[in-house]
Amino acid sequence: MKDTELTTPVYIVDESKLIHNLEILHKVEADTGCHILLAQKAFSMFRVYPLIKQYISGATASGLFEARLAHEEMGGENHVFSPAYTPSEMNELVKICDHISFNSINQLEAHRKTWAEANVSVGLRINPEFSTQEGHEIYDPCAKGSRLGIRLSDMPEYLPEGVEGIHFHTLCEQGAEPLAETVKAVESGFAHYLKEAKWINLGGGHHISKKGYNLDLLKKVIKHLIDTYDLEVYLEPGEAIALDAGYLHTTVMDIVENTLPILILDASAACHMPDVLEMPYRPPLRDAGEPDEKKFTCRLASRTCLAGDVIGDYSFDKMPSIGDRLIFEDMAIYSMVKNNTFNGMPLPDIALMHPDGDCELVKHFDYSDFKGRLS
Ligand SMILES: Cc1ncc(COP(=O)(O)O)c(C=O)c1O
């Protein structure tokens, strides 16, 4: 089926682009001996987990449900980090995970009996207190007052008995340079823990598959950690796996006038691309420009009741009409994983575009998905 034959709204994941990203990541693993894991919080389209598994080591989870998904659908290395776990979650996690990272000494000790008796490697998430980003405080685990990771001043003198790994996650959509600086900051305070540890996890936020990313520097940093501390090195990017590898097709349902023409779409920022409102972020739209760059400038908005459910202002060579199909780019990551049915909005279907251009409908959602989450 052609992509334009799919009913909107629909996410279409582009297998060729996914493979392009995975080849870059695979080469980093092959050249350095590090392990790369899919951070499922960004992208959990498990239909392509077997494909992903052909290129990288496995997956990481933010809790039990993602860990179960990777266990059931991918079957590679399975890691998990959460600021807190319940005892029953821990009972299940130790059976399906290879690595479990804890956010505090309290949590480590609360679950010690369960993990110590299991075949699992345990780590501590540290907070290097070294911010490399400005402006997006909600995405900065090193921001003042952060709950994420143990500060150096709160670490015990030596790694607690049984702890084998150090985990940090501090970057967001960043290059290898901020990583190199962060590793230096980690070494300046935490080097003696690195000497004790067996592994280090450098978290996510590495834009490895983005054009212009400094792969040589990344490899240098990884090799430095391996050579200096004899560590197994893990990276757990989410975005880099499916960056620019998906689209959201939407239809113009109506056009209303205010200070400019407003296109009412069957897709919603609040329900189908929440990062547009949270970050905030302007998704690229195929064949459209910045406001006033092209002849016709329109506001793209949704059919929900939320006044602020606006995707942004875009310009077009030709004035869009009711019934036209618009295509948002870079919609594979942090999209379907964050969907909700506010206003009873239908969830977009999920499709896969194979390398020959043929599209396969992977999942159709309907009223039962809305009702099933309510009581
Ligand atoms: C602990 C952890 N690991 C990995 C990631 C993935 O980050 P990204 O998708 O930016 O690569 C995140 C994102 O929030 C995270 O919190």
Bridge partners (DSSP) of residue 264 are 254, 301
CA of 301 to the centre of ligand 1 (A): 29
**Ligand 1 mean position, distance from CA 82 (Å):** 12
The finding on whether 76 has its CB within 6 A of some atom of ligand 1 is no
Q: Is 172 in the pocket of ligand 1 (CB under 6 A)?
A: yes
CB-based contact 53:35 (threshold 8 Å)? no
- Give a three-class secondary structure readout of 26-66: HHHHHHHCCEEEEECCCCCCHHHHHHHHCCCCEEEECCHHH
Centroid of ligand 1 to alpha carbon of 171 (angstroms): 8
Q: Are 176 and 214 in contact (CB under 8 A)?
A: yes
Helix (H, G, I), strand (E, B) or coil at 347: coil
The dotted CATH code for 33-242 is 3.20.20.10
Ligand 1 pocket test target in 21, 35, 40, 41 with most atoms within 8 Å of CB: 41
Q: Count CA atoms within 13 Å of residue 243 on its CB side.
A: 21
204 alpha carbon – ligand 1 mean position (Å) = 4
- For the chain, give every residue range classified as CATH 2.40.37.10: 3-11+246-331+339-371
pLDDT value at 280 more than 90: no
End-to-end CA distance of the chain: 37
CA separation for the pair 309, 332 (Å, rounded): 20
The mean pLDDT of 138-155, rounded to a whole number, is: 94
User: Tens digit of pLDDT for each residue in 92-118?
Assistant: 999 999 999 999 999 999 999 999 999
C-alpha–C-alpha distance, residues 297 and 293, integer Å: 8
**Which of 90, 32, 82, 80 is closest to 56 using CA atoms?**
32
Q: How confident is the model at residue 136 (pLDDT cuts 50, 70, 90)?
A: confident
> What is the residue-averaged pLDDT of the chain?
97
Q: What is the pLDDT of residues 196-254, one digit of tens each?
A: 999 999 999 999 999 999 999 999 999 999 999 999 999 999 999 999 999 999 999 99
H-state helical runs in the chain: 15-32, 49-53, 64-73, 87-96, 105-110, 112-116, 176-196, 215-229, 239-242, 269-272, 275-278, 367-371
CA–centroid distance, residue 241 to ligand 1 (Å): 11
Q: Is the pLDDT of residue 37 over 90?
A: yes
> Does ligand 1 lie within 6 Å of residue 204's CB atom?
yes
Could you give the percent of the chain with pLDDT greater than 70? 100
Q: How far apart are CA 249 and CA 326, in angstroms?
A: 6
Q: 3-11+246-331+339-371 adopts what CATH topology?
A: Lyase, Ornithine Decarboxylase; Chain A, domain 1 (2.40.37)
Q: Note the pLDDT tens digit of each residue in 61-81.
A: 999 999 999 999 999 999 999
Numbered ranges of CATH 3.20.20.10 in the chain: 33-242
Residue 269 contacts residue 277 (beta carbons within 8 Å): yes
pTM: 0.97
